[in-house]
Amino acid sequence: MTKSTVNQSKNFFELNFDQLKIFFKEDIGLEQKKISMRATQLWQSIYKKGLKNINDLSTLPKELRDELNRFINIKKPQIIKKQKSDDGTIKWLIKLFDNNEVECVFIPEKTRGTLCISSQVGCTLNCRFCHTGTQRLVKNLNFSEIIDQVMIAKEELNDWQEQKKITNIVLMGMGEPFYNYDNVKTAVDILKNKDGLNYGTKKITVSTAGIADKIALAAKEIGTYLALSLHAPTDEIRELIMPINKKFKIKDLIEQCKTYAKITKEKITLEYVMLRGINDSEICAKLLIKIMAQFPCKVNLIEFNPWPGVNYLPTERKEMEKFSEIIQKAGYISTIRRSRGQDILGACGQLRTESLRKKIN
Ligand code: SAH
């Protein structure tokens, strides 16, 4: 648990629903038959209506509100920097209670609004084209710190109406979600909870660099859309740009994706960042088709977003379209993801904070 105690009180967001019920029983001493109702009331008021002050929860008896004020707080970490891109994308830099920093990004579109959240501070993967990869792993986020990002964004956007402004949530920010599996799972449970943030499984996407031994489990336990950062059609190329491929080969990923698609009955999204002269040839497109033939999927071609000091160049738009057409002609869905928020380093793979791993001693 993160240290966020104020006068020994617990932080609401550090409790999942079962833990909240235990809190009502053990810390508040509420009689058993009222626990579920009171926990649900508090849960709904905070997650659905954005309650910030327990005194405003007038459906609770005054004595209970007083007790809650003593034993629980609904504090969230602070935003320390907010940047708005010319295209409307907003990036928030958040200072966690332990002073580490994490970023999340809101990407508004005509018909939807996507919030991109982080699962770790820093990352262990070191993908050569990714800015986060230049920051060492600082820590796994607690599930509360994953949910905090959503709550902070909702508050900033005043998103408490029936018609949500944040319609979709993607775990595509900093970090590898499957290397922080348990916290991601709990956070997704809270996102999905009908009395909580109430996002359908089809409104949430978890993106992985391909931690093969977690994919089948995630299909059963997390069950959201899955995006796989494939980025190359052969092990040879993939290994050059993604060191994780030394551990999990494309063949393993294909097997796991078959299982995932079978369990969730949904297509997998293959993410493919286009790097000039590295993975964008016609041969690569044809090899990619061979992979796509093996399980239900579509490909999302991603414009490479440069960052200071990187050694790759983006594939030209015309070439991306050619690549996309080859895939479409073979009968598969291929889309090109427009880059958003580049001017504020808020686009895919551009997130990086100054947090450093604390030296032990
Ligand atoms: N670790 C997870 C999620 C984080 S990255 C994963 O690898 O999927 C989200 C997506 O952005 C991934 O597909 C990642 O490969 C891609 N990405 C990373 N750096 C990028 C860059 N500079 N330009 C475009 N996309 C990038």
Q: What is the pLDDT of residues 211-246, one digit of tens each?
A: 999 999 999 999 999 999 999 999 999 999 999 999
* Per-residue pLDDT, 280: 98
High-pLDDT (> 70) share of the chain, %? 96
Residue 7 pLDDT level (bands cut at 50, 70, 90): low
Active-site residue (options: 127, 130, 284, 348): 348
* Per-residue pLDDT, 142: 98
List, for residues 248-288, the tens digit of each pLDDT value: 999 999 999 999 999 999 999 999 999 999 999 999 999 99
Is residue 155 part of the annotated active site? The answer reads no
3-class DSSP state of 91: strand
- Residue written as tokens 């990352």? 123
Is residue 103 part of the annotated active site? The answer reads yes
* Per-residue pLDDT, 3: 45
List, for residues 182-221, the tens digit of each pLDDT value: 999 999 999 999 998 999 999 999 999 999 999 999 999 9
Q: In the chain, where are the structural domains located?
A: 10-73, 78-344
Q: Which residue has the higher pLDDT, 135 or 97?
A: 97
CA dihedral 156→162→168→170, nearest 10 degrees, is 50
DSSP strands (E only) in 98-236: 101-108, 113-116, 120-121, 139-140, 168-171, 204-208, 225-229
Choose the residue to mutate in 104, 273, 352 for probing ligand 1, maximizing ligand atoms within 8 Å of C-beta: 273
Ligand 1 atom at minimal distance to the Cα of residue 125? 1
**304 CB less than 6 Å from ligand 1?**
yes
CATH of domain 10-73: 1.10.150.530
Domain 78-344 fold: TIM Barrel (3.20.20)
List, for residues 23-78, the tens digit of each pLDDT value: 999 999 999 999 999 999 999 999 999 999 999 999 999 999 999 999 999 999 99
Residue 357 pLDDT level (bands cut at 50, 70, 90): low
**How far apart (Å, rounded) are the C-alpha atoms in residues 240 and 244?**
10
335-354: average pLDDT: 77
**How far apart (Å, rounded) are the C-alpha atoms in residues 80 and 60?**
34
High-pLDDT (> 90) share of the chain, %? 87
**How far apart (Å, rounded) are the C-alpha atoms in residues 10 and 217?**
31
Ligand 1 atom at minimal distance to the Cα of residue 173? 4
